[in-house]
Copies of this chain bind each other. A is one copy, B any other.
Amino acid sequence: MKVAILGYGTVGSGVYEVINTNKEIIAKKAGVGLEVAHVLDLRDFPGDPVEKVLTHDINDILNDPEVKVVAEVMGGVGAALRFTRAALEAGKSVCTSNKELVATHGCELMKVALEHGCRYLFEASVGGGIPLIRPIMTALHGDDIVHMKSILNGTTNYILTRMSEAGAGFEESLLEAQQKGYAEADPTADIEGHDAMRKTSILASILEGKYVSCENVHTEGISAVTAADFKYARKLHAGVKLLSVITRENGRVSAMVAPFLVREDNELYGVKGVKNASLICGNAVGDIMFYGSGAGKLPTASAVVADMAEAAQCMAEMSAAKQVPAWTEEPADVVPFDEYKSASLVRVEAADEQAARKSFKEIREVAPSEGEFAFLTSVMTEKDYVKAAEGLNIISRIRTDFVD
């Protein structure tokens, strides 16, 4: 199925890359392949492979009857709105990462899509690559969602993490974030909470099934948070996080974005740096959390492409019952256990130390305990492990999830 991309910026080039890199995987999983027929951008990209499919004219896309799915990754609410509306009116599904457009015009655009038998999908508009909107929309049908607490902005979470761990001030941490490319030259939208506000508007509207506009999201940024606040937070075994908090009760909804003290025993406490996470509480499922990269070229592109695959299935009129089965009876090509690789923590009797050093060669000794010798092996196959362990009196062996 032919698709088009509107905008060849960070996310747009990521979408182009993901579709091309994972072409076969997408076709296999979705049951329908994606082929980028057009990329719209005002700029030229001499020497970039995108040149073959680059256009400066939206009509090349709107008038191509073979293009059924369009990714809108331009941002803003000007041309993006006009192009999205036109594409939907032409019966093309549109998938977007544009949180501002979804938060302000999502309702109208979903309606246009419904009227024209296509879809308007926006998984990438909240939480970057974290599957968040789709699970809420499809996997929690049995639950009444009581509240949802989220970290939705990586820039502010990075700044607050630095203030917490390094005891640094706000200005200093912002500067560091800018130097590392985690904050923009004009960081207002992030640090004043506007970015998180738009995402909160989208999530609250989904949870409620009715529109919660940005004006209805009480929003406070993090520019007033100081190192002194963190000192008190530490005394309370807590950190400071910019939370999006949505609460549903008695048919009413409240939604806010503000700095909160979050205690060590809360799952969101451990969400550090530019990561995002959502803690959702349903009346049946209890607390569940979704966690991952909330921004970035490829993670965001991943979500856009997942939407494009769903839209493509939809445009190809694949009914759910005709979808690709979870697996077929064909046996997978399984790696023989002999070839599995891992490092291990091994304990042998003290008398075996020299023998162990000799047979395992590269080892890292772990602070000793009486009567035994404990060490970390290098990464090795099961076959090599068994060979090296032969003849040693092994007290215990536990594989490790890490390698130093």
Contacts and interface: CB of A to CB of B under 8 A. Distances in A.
Interface of A: 14, 18-19, 21-22, 25-26, 28-30, 106-108, 110-111, 113-114, 117-119, 123, 129-131, 133-135, 137-144, 149, 204-206, 208-213, 216, 218, 224-226, 228-229, 231-233, 235-236, 238, 240-241, 243, 247, 251-256, 258-263, 266-268, 270, 282-293, 296, 298-299, 301-306, 308-310, 313-314, 317, 319-322, 324-335, 337, 339-340, 345, 347, 366-367, 369, 374, 376, 395-396, 398-402
A142 B238 contact: no
Contacts of A369: 228, 231-232
Contact of A210 (B289, B308, B330): B330
Contacts of A18: 142-143, 284
A332 B285 contact: no
Nearest to A30: B141
A401 B306 contact: no
Contacts of A296: 286
A22 B283 contact: yes
Contacts of A263: 400-402
A150 to B, nearest CB: 12
14 contacts: A25-B144, A130-B288, A142-B303, A209-B326, A212-B332, A218-B337, A228-B347, A228-B396, A233-B345, A235-B367, A254-B339, A261-B401, A286-B292, A287-B293
Contact of A319 (B130, B286, B317): B317
Interface of A is mostly: mixed
Given A226-B396, A333-B253, A335-B253, A319 B314 contact: yes
User: When A and B form their complex, which 7 residue pairs have the shortest distance between CB atoms, in order from nearest?
Assistant: A142-B305, A131-B139, A288-B292, A141-B309, A129-B285, A284-B302, A210-B332
Contacts of A118: 321
A117 B322 CA distance: 8
Nearest to A301: B284
Contact of A255 (B251, B267, B327, B334): B334
A296 B288 CA distance: 13
A327 B209 contact: yes
Contacts of A216: 332, 334
Contacts of A205: 326-327, 332
